[in-house]
Chains A and B, each alone.
Chain A
Amino acid sequence: MASIEKMTLNMGPQHPSTHGVLRLVLELDGEKIEKVTPHIGYLHRGVEKLAEHRTYHQTLPLTDRLDYLAPMSNNLGYVLAVEKLLGIEVPERAETIRVIMAELTRIKSHLVWLACHALDIGAMTVFLYCFREREAVMDIYEMISGARMTSNYFRVGGLSQDVPDGFEKRVRDFIDSFDANVDTYEGLLTKNTIWLQRTVGNGVISAEDAVDAGITGPALRGSGVDWDLRRDNPYSGYEKYKFQVPIGEKCDTFDRYKVRLVELREAAKIVRQALDFLKPGPILADLPQVCYPPKDAVYNTIEGLIHHFKIASEGFLVPEGEVYQGIEAPKGELGYYVVSDGGNHPYRMRIRPPSFVNLSAIEKMSKGFMVADLVAVIGTLDIVLGEIDR
């Protein structure tokens, strides 16, 4: 009788379909997965520790580098947490621009998800189309913040600067053609036999298990849980916009794919409403003890220069207390738990990364499947290692 030997296979950390430096140790029976042990931490930069030694504004650029596919969502969660701690409100125009950028970021992040997910499963064409549209969002990023990825555009109390002329037209042009682009992706995938064979019935996790595992965002909605923080606990003025929250039924990779495609269209809808809503006005709260002065004052008056210097070097004092602010980031609930001891830097800043918690469910979702199916599960979880390792 032939003896059956279990094989241990090391997948990653350098592996094209692990989306970064994720290492998975697989225990295999033939090609069937018996156990998956993820090893993470290769990108650990100690962001939470660094934040304890920087002022609140100096911490902001660190947050760009968490989920580097969705920098402005990270910025948004952070500034909202600090603003909550301070107990301040931001002007309406700033809120609206934040929403426009957060939703464009969702589009950008979902496009990378779709591109890489499809590429992993063998559909090269979708990858190229998605990156074409993502490039347009990057151009909008560059237009308003000067950077394509590490935007650092929001500020505690508002925005770093107003959007330049032509911003609205640029965004509107992008949004107007976007629905047709989503149709293209759907045309390439939704009825594609290979795509269906690879995604239907793959990575099934029931609603109950998904909640127990702490999965959030589109991955949870794919399992049929009707919950979206933008609708259920609105922040930054989301209560003003009308949008659908899509949910799946079969809890598999295909349903999560459908949920994210609808989210792409809904994000475009929110951007369109926000553009209609956008009116001229201040972009920073009138709080000189917290906010930077306008650049015009910094360059032309000595008072403005001193003011800028004080905020940049000393920062601002934040009342003693603790807050948790969760937002619906493209990958799930991104939370910032900030503790202040009354000083000018966070006493403790905890980042609750959606990818970290979502990834912990990988074993449950891939047990008993083939190795090739695991690649689809990694894709459907939509993880980014910069955020997992922090």
Chain B
Amino acid sequence: MADMAENHRAVVELKEKYASSVLDVREFRGEVTVTVKKEDIVEICRFLKENAAYNLLTDVTAVDYLGQEPRFMMVYNLYSIPNKDRLRVKAPVAEADVSVDSVCGVWSTANWLERETYDLFGIRFNNHPDLRRILMTDDWVGHPLRKDYPLQGPDREPYKGRLS
């Protein structure tokens, strides 16, 4: 199974060009995920877009692994319309410096998707042209999709499962 990930057309090139940056390559259920250092995310994304034809940025989001270090994981789902295949790029973000460079300059799709990630996870995007909250109101306190944010609202006890 690991062979498929290792032989993936873009992974081969990435490992050659950014050997020091690639932290992990994984294949699960036919999907290839590359984890890279967040410092190189913009350069790697640009490389994937220009040299591996990943012209569509499908999605940008994050996952909060509360209790682990680094706490957050940025997730970029890429798609190549000419080659009809997908690639997932991930980048760990530590709680001490909750920020990552914006990929808005590579795909303009990232604008709103990064705003949403900022809004719900509190991850700041450096060099983002318009980093405002998008789903929550401007004066909202806290970031609802963080694992330590109570399900029922900021002033309520943490959710302990259904009572019924």
A: which residues have CB within 8 A of B?
Answer: 40-41, 44, 46, 48-50, 53, 84-85, 87, 211-214, 216, 225, 227, 232-233, 321-324, 326, 333, 335, 337, 339, 347-348, 350, 352, 356-357, 360, 389-390
Contact = CB atoms under 8 A, between A and B. Distances in A.
Interface in B94-151: 107-109, 111-113, 116, 120, 134-137, 144-145, 149, 151
Given A213-B109, A339-B63, A352-B58, A87 B134 contact: no
Contacts of A48: 120, 145
B40 interface: no
A211 B81 contact: yes
Given A48-B145, A211-B56, A212-B108, A337 B77 contact: yes
B31 interface: yes
Contact of B56 (A53, A214, A337, A356): A214
B135 A350 contact: no
B61 interface: yes
A233 B63 contact: no
Judged by DSSP, the binding face of B is mixed
Contacts of B156: none
Contacts of B136: 41, 44
B128 to A, nearest CB: 14
Contacts of A360: 109, 111-112
28 contacts: A40-B135, A41-B136, A44-B135, A49-B144, A49-B149, A53-B159, A53-B161, A85-B29, A212-B55, A212-B107, A212-B109, A216-B56, A225-B81, A227-B84, A321-B28, A322-B33, A323-B28, A323-B29, A323-B31, A324-B31, A324-B59, A350-B59, A350-B75, A352-B58, A352-B61, A357-B112, A357-B113, A390-B135
A227 B55 CA distance: 13
Nearest to B49: A212
Interface in B38-95: 55-59, 61, 63-64, 75, 77, 79, 81, 84, 86, 88
A53 B134 contact: no
The A interface is mostly helix, strand or loop, or mixed, namely: mixed
Nearest to A212: B108
Contacts of B135: 40-41, 44, 389-390
Contacts of B107: 212, 214
Contacts of B109: 212-214, 357, 360
Given A41-B135, A41-B137, A339-B63, A326 B151 contact: no
B11 to A, nearest CB: 17
Q: Which of A232, A323, A324 counts the most chain B CB atoms within 10 A?
A: A324
A44 B116 CA distance: 12
B28 A211 contact: no
B58 A211 contact: no
Task: Give the top 4 A-B pairs by smallest Cβ distance, nearest first.
Answer: A214-B109, A41-B135, A360-B112, A352-B59
